[in-house]
């Protein structure tokens, strides 16, 4: 049976990448659990937009002998690297209002580290990263071709989310789940390609350059950092990371990473010494990372987990559907010569179901002693002894012919049958679609016009 270009492309892409996609999907499920379990620790701080950077720095200096780094995770956790009064270096989560330790930063569990390395590079370093990027690209193409097939099946993009025709389990839920998860899978695939391109330096240069800002030496100096205007007005929701100065020397600055730029800030006056805006590529890379990992967003992490699991189902159901389709359209081993048969069966079938009915009809007629020839509508030609033609055809998409019947309308006027033909048309379809049996009706009209 003729296979449409989109279905063939979809199948070949899935077949060539299936092993890698299984690995990526399984590890993706594992890694999607990490941000969920991380958020469950309960260290997230609410109302970060009401806590000033100065308040947090003062609280840290009051509770710890020295502070090296303050970091705001996308999870809402406030993390600090400190030297305790007992002279112990710790990475801890804190309450930014009081500086009180909420918990220690734990070493990452082995299963997540293992899954990350396997997911990123298959333990093959640069070669593995290249393959992972390629598989992400193939997944993107598989998803695009899948959406095109889905739109075709449903009768157009406008009917993409219309009621799904009842069918066997694998086909029905292949369609249903693809409607639910094609957007998350496109995002996963696209961000995977983007992050791989970044790894291999295929994106524009993201180096940032600080520009010095001229300041007066007469700026007011403050005793407490919480009184410094910059630290007083800058809230934690604007902060990504703060590196503390090594000493109280005025030449030592706070190095602050905001959402969109980096600053060097005088610790006594709050004057901005230099500034550097992040280029668009750097911001896009950060967004791609968050979208690809679900970091900091439990809801999105759950969606990514389900999307990764759905890819495993698509692999299973896709191959199951292919095997069933091939079984349905399996060629009849012994077929009589077309010019020796008085009865001809012509078939138009997209998924193989109509072809299966045609084979059963052929077998029954053959068992009754009839000499029957069965072929696709695309192979319509002259039949020397044919007196009756039975057409069994489905309708695909928006009233269009199945892939193995697309040439029929063009071929039909060029063929002159030597005998007067009696014909019957059996249309297959579902009343749930507006173009129910439209192509079968068109075939009937075509034969009727020549009778």
Q: Does residue 101 sit within a domain?
A: no
Q: Could you report the per-residue pLDDT of 232-254, keeping only the tens digit for each?
A: 999 999 999 999 998 888 788 99
- The helix (run of H) or strand (run of E) holding residue 411 is helix 408-411
Quick one: pLDDT at residue 105?
94
**Domain presence at residue 32:** yes
Same domain, 440 and 353: yes
The reply to whether 153 and 216 lie within a common domain is: no
Residue 239 sits in the same domain as residue 198 = no
Cβ neighbours for 80, distance < 8 A, ≥ 6 positions apart? 60, 64, 67, 69, 70, 71, 91, 92, 93, 94
pLDDT for 216 = 59
Residue 304 shares a structural domain with residue 165: yes
Residues 226 and 313 in one domain: no
Q: What is the pLDDT of residue 2?
A: 45
| pLDDT tens per residue, range 17-36 | 888 899 999 999 999 999 99
Beta strands 261-266 and 272-277: pairing type?
Answer: antiparallel
Q: Same domain, yes or no, for 22 and 78? A: no
- Tell me: the pLDDT tens digits for 196-216? 998 888 888 777 888 888 765
**Is 36 among the domain residues?**
yes
Q: Rounded to whole angstroms, how far apart are CA atoms 62 and 66?
A: 9
CATH number, domain with residue 414:
3.40.50.360
In a domain, 388, yes or no: yes
Residue 104, domain member (yes or no) = no
pLDDT at 309: 95
Tell whether 268 and 137 lie within a shared domain.
no
Same domain, 340 and 417: yes
Overall domain count for the chain: 3
Answer yes or no: are the C-beta atoms of 117 and 123 closer than 8 Å: yes
Which of the residues in the chain have pLDDT under 50? 1-3
Task: Tell whether 201 and 211 lie within a shared domain.
Answer: no
102 in any annotated domain: no
Dihedral of CA atoms 93, 98, 100, 102 in degrees, nearest 10, equals: -40
Q: Is residue 34 included in any domain, yes or no?
A: yes
> Phi and psi of 107, rounded to 5°?
-65, 140
Question: Same domain for 410 and 272?
Answer: no
β 101-104/66-72 pair status: unpaired
Domain extent, residue 158, equals: 5-40+110-205+284-323
What is the Cα 393 distance to its own chain's centre? Answer: 35
pTM of the predicted protein model = 0.77
- Report how far residue 451's alpha carbon sits from residue 421's, in angstroms, rounded to the nearest whole number: 8
Tokens coding 335: 């077929």
């Amino acid at each position: 049976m003729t296979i449409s270009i989109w279905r063939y492309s979809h199948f070949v892409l899935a077949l060539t990448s299936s092993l890698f996609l299984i690995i990526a999907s399984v590890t993706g499920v594992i890694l999607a659990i990490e941000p969920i379990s991380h958020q469950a620790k309960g260290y997230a701080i609410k109302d970060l937009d009401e806590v000033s950077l100065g308040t947090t720095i003062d609280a840290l200096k009051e509770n710890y002998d020295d502070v090296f780094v303050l970091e705001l995770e996308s999870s809402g956790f406030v993390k600090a690297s400190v030297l305790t009064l007992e002279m112990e270096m710790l990475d801890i989560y804190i309450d930014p209002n009081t500086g009180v330790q909420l918990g220690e930063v734990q070493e990452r569990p082995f299963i997540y580290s293992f899954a990350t390395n396997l997911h990123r590079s298959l333990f093959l370093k640069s070669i593995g990263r290249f393959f992972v990027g390629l598989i992400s690209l193939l997944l993107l193409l598989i998803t695009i071709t899948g959406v095109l097939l889905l739109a075709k099946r449903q009768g157009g993009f406008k009917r993409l989310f219309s009621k799904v025709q009842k069918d066997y389990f694998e086909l029905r839920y292949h369609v249903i789940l693809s409607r639910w998860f094609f957007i998350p899978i496109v995002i996963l695939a696209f961000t995977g390609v983007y992050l791989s391109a970044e790894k291999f330096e295929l994106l524009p240069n993201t180096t940032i350059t600080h520009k010095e800002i001229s300041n007066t030496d007469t700026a007011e100096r403050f005793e407490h950092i919480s009184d410094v205007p910059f630290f007083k007005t800058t809230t934690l929701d604007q902060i990504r990371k703060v590196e503390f100065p090594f000493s109280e020397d005025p030449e030592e600055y706070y190095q602050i990473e905001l959402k969109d730029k980096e600053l060097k800030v005088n610790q006594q006056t709050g004057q901005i010494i230099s500034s550097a805006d992040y280029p668009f590529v750097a911001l896009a890379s950060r967004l791609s990372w968050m979208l690809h990992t679900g970091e900091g967003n439990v809801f999105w992490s759950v969606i990514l987990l389900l999307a990764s699991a759905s890819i495993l189902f698509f692999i299973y159901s896709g191959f199951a559907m292919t095997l069933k389709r091939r079984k349905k359209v399996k060629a009849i081993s012994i077929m009589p010569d077309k010019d020796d048969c008085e009865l001809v069966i012509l078939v138009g079938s997209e998924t193989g179901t109509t072809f299966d009915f045609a084979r059963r009809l052929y077998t029954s007629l053959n068992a009754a002693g009839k000499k029957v020839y069965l072929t696709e509508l695309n192979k319509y030609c002259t039949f020397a002894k044919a007196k009756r033609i039975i057409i069994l055809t489905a309708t695909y998409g928006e009233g269009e012919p199945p892939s193995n019947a697309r040439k029929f309308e063009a071929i039909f006027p060029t063929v002159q049958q030597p005998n007067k033909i009696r014909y019957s048309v059996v249309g297959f379809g579902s009343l749930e679609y507006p173009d129910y049996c439209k192509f079968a009706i068109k075939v009937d009209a075509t034969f009727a016009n020549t009778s």
